[in-house]
Amino acid sequence: MQDSASVGIVNPQVTHIDQPLTLKSGAVLNCYDLVYETYGELNAQRSNAVLICHALSAHHHVAGYHSEDQTTVGWWENMVGPGKPIDTNRFFVIGINNLGGCHGSTGPVSINPASGKPFGAGFPVVTVEDWVEQQARFATWLGIEQFAAVIGGSLGGMQSLQWGIAYTERVRHVLAIATTPKLTAQNIAFNDVARQAIITDPDFCGGDYYSHGVTPKSGLRLARMLGHITYLSDDAMAEKFGRDLRSGTYNFGYEVEFEIESYLRYQGDKFASYFDANTYLLMTKALDYFDPAHAYQGNLSSTLKNSKSAYLVLSFKSDWRFSPDRSREIVKALLDNNLDVTYAEMTCRHGHDSFLMFDEHYHDLMRAYMNNILL
């Protein structure tokens, strides 16, 4: 049964865009498909549109279900829906699968019109800036001149921040959750280990595994397991798994013994069964490359000097991957520019993944902020 505060069953839509997109790398995508979903109604003034930007492994399916099957639930169902913090009775909410994704938008798994084969490793590296450009063009196509809010967590938060930099006149409120103005060396290091796990998998085949009828599952699985560890907090893991043993005793071998091992392997296997390895590589690169202040000698305040949007910046104390200090760098730069900004540091215990979890205070804050957005 779907709960009453759900948008219910939704159908993804696909649009084909023919306008060539020059990427930050210099590569050009002549045409591409974007898959998206919308919830709620666009009002007559077209002033209630909200864009949800997805993170590394998510997609356009933000809320609702694709069928009666409960497992088809959207990735931010607890946040988006009628009467929920991002209230679809009030806002017209849009989710798009970004370019390079593996859920229907043009990406490595798509057929390259030039060759008739999947792009594979030949799919150009896309950046956060490219995605925001793609989202802005999509918004124009949809007839939305200005978003009431652009919202994202983690890699999605980088996109919402980039909206405030590149398209501030087109977004009134930027909600940047559990994010950072740039990755630290430690973060890039984690990403590279993940990439190495994929690239060194014999089934990776230089990225053209599609034509060999294989997928680099063990590499992708390892990448996901590593990522998962960094998205959780030590406390959350201790609380959930501790040192619990599956059989209650040591077996003095190398099979699964601890519950945490079982959990990670399960998560890794599940992920490797549906996610595309090339997309994973590309998404982690987009994370690594994001550094909007780079063009301003590392000065984030100068980077934001033309911004006019209002900001809500949220971080989680247990998030050691994108720690509160990174959010405070964003806040400092916004303060330096006299911009409207509210910042809250939440005590949720789930680490980086907290932004996806239900927490009463977190959701109350989101609801209160969204309720005050004028339409």
Residue 328 CB, nearest approach to another protein (Å)? 7
- Distances in Å between the Cα of 234 and the Cα atoms of 229, 241, 351 are 9, 10, 8
Q: Which is nearer to another protein, 10 or 348 (CB)?
A: 348
Q: What part of residues 327-346 is at the interface with another protein (CB under 8 A)?
A: 328, 331-332, 335-336, 338, 340-346
| Catalytic member of 130, 319, 353, 359 | 319
Least separation, in Å, of the C-beta of 348 and another protein? Answer: 11
- Residue 319 annotated to the active site: yes
Cβ atoms 356, 75 nearer than 8 A: yes
Shortest Cβ distance from residue 305 to another protein (Å)? 14
Which H/E stretch holds residue 152? strand 147-153
Residue 368 touches another protein, criterion: CB under 8 A:
yes
- N residues, the chain: 375
d(CA 310, CA 199): 41
The residue among 149 and 281 lying less far from another protein, judged by its C-beta, is 149
Query: Residue 175 forms beta bridges with which residues?
Result: 151, 312
CB closer to another protein out of 7 and 304: 304
Q: How far is the CB of 169 from another protein (least distance, A)?
A: 20
Which residues, numbered 200-239, are part of the site for another protein (CB under 8 A)? none
Q: 308 vs 361, which CB is nearer to another protein?
A: 361
Catalytic residue among 60, 61, 350, 352: 352
The CA-to-CA distance between both ends of the chain, in Å, stands at 33
What 3-state DSSP class applies to 170?
helix
Quick one: tokens of 16?
């084909």
Comparison of 5 and 344: residue with beta carbon closer to another protein: 344
Residue 369 engages another protein in binding (rule: CB under 8 A): yes
61 is catalytic: no
Catalytic residue status for 103: no
> Is residue 151 within 8 Å of 53, Cβ to Cβ?
yes
The tokens for 136 are 């802005």
- Check residue 169 and give left, alpha or beta (phi > 0: left; psi -120 to 50: alpha): alpha
Nearer to another protein, 46 or 367 (CB): 367
Of 60-68, 220-228, 254-262, 364-372, which segment contacts another protein by CB under 8 A? Answer: 364-372
Catalytic residue among 57, 154, 160, 315: 154
Least Cβ distance, residue 339 to another protein (angstroms): 9
Return d(Cα 260, Cα 245) in angstroms, integer: 9
CB atoms within 10 A of CB 248: 7
Asked if 305 interacts with another protein (CB under 8 A), we say: no
357 lines the binding site for another protein (CB under 8 A): no
Sign of CA dihedral 25, 28, 32, 37: positive
Among 25, 89, 306, 347, binds another protein (CB under 8 A): 347
Least distance in angstroms from the C-beta of 163 to another protein: 19
- Give the number of C-alpha atoms closer than 13 A to the C-alpha of residue 23, restricted to the C-beta side: 17
Question: Is 361 among the residues that bind another protein (CB under 8 A)?
Answer: yes
* Number of Cβ atoms within 10 Å of the Cβ of 187: 18
CA–CA gap between residue 188 and residue 194 (Å, rounded): 10
Residue 372 binding another protein, by CB under 8 A: yes
CB of 340 to another protein, least distance (A): 5
What is the rounded CA–CA span in Å between residue 21 and residue 31?
A: 7
Binding site for another protein (CB under 8 A): 328, 331-332, 335-336, 338, 340-347, 361, 364-365, 368-369, 371-372
Point out the residues that are catalytic: 154, 319, 352
